[in-house]
């Protein structure tokens, strides 16, 4: 477990670095999604949390500090494009790029049209990187009850998994988990924040 997460952490750090180096300017018109810090915690926060739960505090601290060093801007592309513009992020097929987060409508697990664009890019990237395995994490916003949101999060994860498999990616490369509303990346009680949390996030396993 430790080793996997360690590799993953390095992967994230590299990814963030790469994202910065060949940075595409953030999409304008993503008004309301201010939040470099919120977006940063999308990748950094949730990955470090899951590490703290499984591998103890030591490795969690390491990872956190690595993420703090990495720039936020790589993530802000990810989130704002998926959430509000339906536009894909800079997708180069570079092996160091990673699968982008996709977003959902309230109470829904259906793949949105903006998500389809992102998922096509993710599938291309997965095709180019055949050894990478992905954990698909389903999340919900804070509204609704915890237990129902767990089920909803899993429906979201499964619907994305099905979509990627239909795009030709081997199912054995995926695992999935639902965190319901337990791992929000944004805590304010407003729609911008709710939208950021209604997501499927991809975790690179190796």
Partner 1 sequence: MLKWCTAFLLWVLILGVAPVSASEVFLEMSRFGFRKIPIAVLSFQDLAKNKEAVRTLEAVLRADLDRSHIFDLIETKAVGFIPNPPSGAPGTAEMTKASQAGVLALVWAKLVANGDEWVLESYVYETAKKEEVISVRIFGSEKSLRKIAHRFSDILTLHFTGEKGVAQTRVAYVSDQSGSKEIYVMDYDGASPMQVTRDRSIVLSPRWSSRGDKLVYTSYRNGNPHLYVLDMKTGKKKSLVSFPGLNFSASWSPVEDRIAFATTKDGNAEIYTIKSDGSDLKRLTFDKSDDLSPSWSSSGKQIAFTSDRGGTPQIYIMDADGANVHRLTFEGNYNTSPTWSPKGDWIAYACRNQDRRLKICADRADGTASIAMTESGAWDDESPSWGLNGREIVFTSNRLGKSQIFSIHLDGKNLRRLTSSQANETSPSWSLR
Among 114, 117, 162, 113, smallest CA distance to 136 is for 162
Q: Does 144 bind partner 1 (CB under 8 A)?
A: yes
Q: Tokens 């996709």 appear where?
A: 102
User: How big is the site for partner 1, counted in residues (CB under 8 A)?
Assistant: 25
Q: Does 5 bind partner 1 (CB under 8 A)?
A: no
Q: Which stretch binds partner 1 (CB under 8 A): 18-26, 75-83, 122-130, 175-183?
A: 175-183
Please select the residue that binds partner 1; options are 124, 133, 155, 173, rule is CB under 8 A. 155
Q: Does 91 bind partner 1 (CB under 8 A)?
A: no
Q: Which stretch binds partner 1 (CB under 8 A): 16-24, 27-35, 46-54, 73-81?
A: 46-54
Query: Count of CB atoms within 10 A of residue 162's CB?
Result: 13
Overall size of the chain counted in residues? 206
Residues that bind partner 1 (CB under 8 A): 1, 50, 52-54, 56-57, 106-107, 143-148, 150-151, 154-155, 158, 177-179, 182-183
């Amino acid at each position: 477990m430790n080793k996997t997460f360690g590799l993953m952490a390095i992967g994230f750090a590299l990814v963030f670095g790469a994202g910065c180096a060949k940075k595409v300017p953030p999409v304008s018109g993503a008004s309301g999604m201010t939040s470099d810090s919120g977006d940063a915690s999308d990748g950094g926060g949730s990955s470090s949390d899951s590490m703290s739960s499984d591998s103890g505090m030591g490795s969690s601290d390491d990872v956190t500090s690595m993420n703090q060093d990495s720039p936020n801007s790589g993530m802000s592309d990810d989130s704002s494009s998926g959430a509000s513009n339906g536009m894909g992020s800079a997708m180069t097929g570079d092996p160091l790029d990673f699968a982008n987060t996709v977003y959902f409508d309230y109470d829904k697990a259906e793949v949105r049209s903006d998500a389809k664009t992102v998922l096509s890019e993710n599938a291309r990237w997965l095709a180019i990187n055949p050894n990478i395995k992905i954990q698909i994490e389903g999340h919900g916003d804070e509204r609704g009850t915890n237990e129902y949101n767990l089920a909803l999060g899993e429906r979201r994860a499964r619907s994305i998994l099905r979509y990627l498999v239909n795009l030709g990616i081997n199912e054995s490369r995926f695992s999935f988990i639902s965190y319901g509303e337990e791992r929000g990346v944004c805590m304010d009680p407003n729609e911008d924040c709710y939208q950021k949390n209604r997501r499927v996030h991809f975790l690179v396993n190796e």
